[in-house]
Chains A and B, each alone.
Chain A
Amino acid sequence: MNNARQIKHLYSRAGFGIRFKELHDHESASIRKKVKELFKNSEADQHITVVTENIDLRPKTNDPEVKKKNQEDRNQQDKDLNVAWLKQMASSDAQLRERMTLFWHNHFACNINNAYHQQQLNNIERTYALGNFKTLLTAVSQSPAMLQFLNNQQNVKGHPNENFARELMELFTLGIGHYTEQDIKESARSFTGWHFDGKTSQYTFVPRIHDDGQKTFMGKTANFCGEDIIDIILSNKQTAVFICTKLYRYLVNDAPDQTNINQMADVFYQANYEIKPLLEYVFLSDWFYDDKNIGVIIKSPAQLLVSLTRQFYIDYHNPDVLLQFQRTLGQVLFKPPNVAGWPGGRAWIDSSSLMYRIKIASTLLNAGVIDFTGKATPEDEAFLAATHKQQFNVIKRTQAVPDWGRFLQDIPLDMPRIQVAEFMLEPKLNQAVIDEVNQAPDIKSMVIQIASTPEYQLC
Chain B
Amino acid sequence: MKRRDFLTKSMLASGAFMLPAFLKPFEALAINDITGHKNLVVIQLSGGNDGLNTIIPYCNDIYYQKRKNIGIKVPDVITLNDMQGLNPNLAALKELYDQGWMTIVNSVGYPNPDRSHFRSMDIWQTGSDSNQFLTTGWIGRYLDANRQTLKNPYTAMEVDDTLSLAMKGEYMKGIAVSDPNKLFQTTREPFFKDIVRDHEAQHLSEENLGYLYKTMIETYSSANYIQQTSKTYNVTAQYPATGIGYQLKNVSKFINSGLETRVYYVSLGGFDTHAGQQGQQGRVLKTYADAVAAFVKDLKQTGKLDDTLIMTFSEFGRRVEENASAGTDHGTASNVFLFGGKLQKPGIFNDAPDLADLENGDLKYKVDFRDVYANVLDKWLDVNNSDILGKQYQGLGLV
Contact = CB atoms under 8 A, between A and B. Distances in A.
A125 to B, nearest CB: 22
**B interface, how many residues as a size bin?**
35 or more
A378 B212 contact: no
Given A181-B115, A378-B7, A351 B360 contact: no
A375 B194 CA distance: 10
A372 B162 contact: no
B116 A166 contact: yes
A370 B189 contact: yes
Contact of B274 (A154, A376, A383, A427): A154
Interface stretch (B82-90, B103-111, B320-328): B320-328
B192 interface: yes
B134 interface: no
A383 B17 CA distance: 11
A176 B116 contact: yes
A351 B3 contact: no
Interface string B178-204: 100011001111111011011100110
A338 B46 contact: yes
Nearest to A382: B7
A340 interface: yes
Contacts of A379: 7, 11, 17-18, 190
A432 interface: yes
Nearest to B131: A177
B219 interface: yes
A248 B373 CA distance: 37
B4 interface: yes
A353 B176 CA distance: 9
A151 B275 contact: yes
A351 B222 contact: yes
Contacts of A458: 208-209, 212
A215 to B, nearest CB: 17
B119 interface: yes
A9 B177 CA distance: 34
B360 A181 contact: yes
Contacts of B161: 328, 330, 350, 352-353
A431 B201 CA distance: 13
A386 interface: yes
Contacts of B213: 454
Given A154-B275, A385-B8, A454 B115 contact: no
Interface in A313-361: 328, 330, 337-340, 346-347, 349-356, 358-359
B171 to A, nearest CB: 15
A381 B188 contact: no
B177 A454 contact: no
A159 B323 contact: yes
Interface string A417-432: 0000000000100111
B274 A161 contact: yes
Nearest to B5: A382
B295 to A, nearest CB: 22
A158 B324 CA distance: 8
B176 A298 contact: no
A163 B274 contact: yes
Interface string B1-29: 00110011001000001100000000000
A17 interface: no
Contact of B189 (A166, A176, A359, A375): A359
B153 to A, nearest CB: 7
Nearest to A159: B324
Interface string B91-125: 00000000000000000000000111111000000
A351 B175 contact: yes
B202 to A, nearest CB: 6
Contacts of B187: 355
A354 B329 contact: no
B329 A162 contact: yes
A427 B209 contact: yes
Given A351-B153, A352-B161, A432 B197 contact: yes
B178 to A, nearest CB: 7
A225 B186 CA distance: 55
A386 B199 CA distance: 28
Contacts of B325: 151, 154, 159, 161
Contacts of A430: 199, 202-203
A384 interface: yes
B368 interface: no
A101 interface: no
A380 interface: yes
B324 A354 contact: no
Given A353-B162, A432-B198, A154 B324 contact: yes
A161 B327 contact: yes
Contacts of A377: 190
A453 interface: yes
Contacts of A159: 323-325
A457 interface: yes
A170 B330 CA distance: 14
Of the candidates B202, B208, B218, B219, the one having the most CB atoms from chain A within 10 angstroms of its own CB is B208
A161 B324 CA distance: 7
Interface string A147-179: 000010010101111110010001000001000
A303 B223 CA distance: 27
A298 B209 CA distance: 9
Contacts of A354: 212, 215-216, 219
Nearest to B118: A340
B117 A382 contact: no
A375 B197 CA distance: 14
Nearest to A433: B195
B119 A176 contact: yes
A181 B114 CA distance: 9
Given A351-B175, A383-B11, A161 B329 contact: yes
B114 to A, nearest CB: 8
Contacts of B115: 166, 181
Nearest to B210: A454
A175 B228 CA distance: 46
B26 to A, nearest CB: 15
Contacts of B211: 346, 349
Given A161-B275, A346-B211, A350-B163, A378 B183 contact: no
Across chains A and B, which 9 residue pairs bring their CB atoms closest together, nearest first? A159-B324, A154-B325, A382-B7, A380-B190, A454-B212, A351-B219, A355-B186, A370-B191, A350-B163
Given A351-B218, A352-B183, A457-B212, 6 more contacts: A160-B324, A163-B329, A349-B212, A350-B163, A355-B183, A383-B11
7 contacts: A296-B209, A330-B162, A352-B183, A352-B219, A353-B161, A370-B191, A384-B190
Interface of B: 3-4, 7-8, 11, 17-18, 46-47, 114-119, 153, 161-163, 175-178, 182-183, 186-192, 194-195, 197-199, 202-203, 207-209, 211-213, 215-216, 218-219, 222-223, 269, 272, 274-275, 323-325, 327, 329-330, 360
Interface of A: 151, 154, 156, 158-163, 166, 170, 176, 181, 254, 295-298, 328, 330, 337-340, 346-347, 349-356, 358-359, 370, 372, 375-386, 427, 430-433, 436, 449, 452-455, 457-458
